[in-house]
């Protein structure tokens, strides 16, 4: 079950994470490196979101060479915080435009309320 739905102008959608077994299965969205961000409103425990594009195992970074991306990119959203995550900031982990991005979420108690929505602008 996808937890992220794409927002469009004047029709923003939010999907409640509360009550889901967040460790049960990964969630996903389609990557757009140019115009996309994810907003997470966390009123639950500290959450860790792990992002990894389908099929991405490594990428080349200027001046650093080949970066191992097989474990994905972790991003922590502290309890009580609202964070905006610009996906293009770690695009190497997500792949090319149109790639499916798998997101695994850990840390939820299931008793708090957390919402997440993906916005394209």
Q: How confident is the model at residue 4 (pLDDT cuts 50, 70, 90)?
A: low
In a domain, 65, yes or no: yes
Q: How confident is the model at residue 86 (pLDDT cuts 50, 70, 90)?
A: very high
Read off φ and ψ for residue 10, nearest 5 degrees. Answer: 65, 10
Rg (Cα) of the chain, in Å, rounded?
14
In a domain, 64, yes or no: yes
CA distances from 85 to 66, 106, 115 (A): 24, 17, 14
In a domain, 11, yes or no: yes
What is the average pLDDT score of the chain?
A: 80
Q: Which domain holds residue 79?
A: 6-120
Number of domains in the chain: 1
The predicted-structure confidence for 5-55, as pLDDT tens digits, reads as follows 555 544 444 444 444 444 456 678 889 888 788 888 888 889 899 999 999
In a domain, 1, yes or no: no
Higher pLDDT, 87 or 27: 87
- pLDDT value, residue 97: 93
Domain of residue 70, CATH code? 2.60.290
- pLDDT value, residue 15: 45
């Amino acid at each position: 079950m996808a937890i992220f739905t794409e927002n469009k102008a004047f029709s923003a959608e939010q999907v409640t994470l509360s009550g889901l077994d967040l460790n049960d299965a990964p969630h996903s969205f389609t990557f757009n490196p140019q115009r996309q961000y994810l907003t997470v409103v966390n009123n639950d425990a500290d959450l860790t979101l792990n992002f990894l594009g389908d099929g991405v195992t490594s990428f080349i970074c200027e001046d650093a060479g080949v970066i191992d991306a097989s474990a994905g990119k972790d991003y922590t959203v502290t309890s009580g915080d609202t964070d905006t995550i610009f996906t293009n900031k770690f695009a190497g982990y997500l792949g090319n435009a149109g790639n499916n991005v798998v997101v695994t979420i850990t840390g939820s108690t299931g008793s708090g309320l957390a919402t997440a929505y993906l916005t394209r602008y």
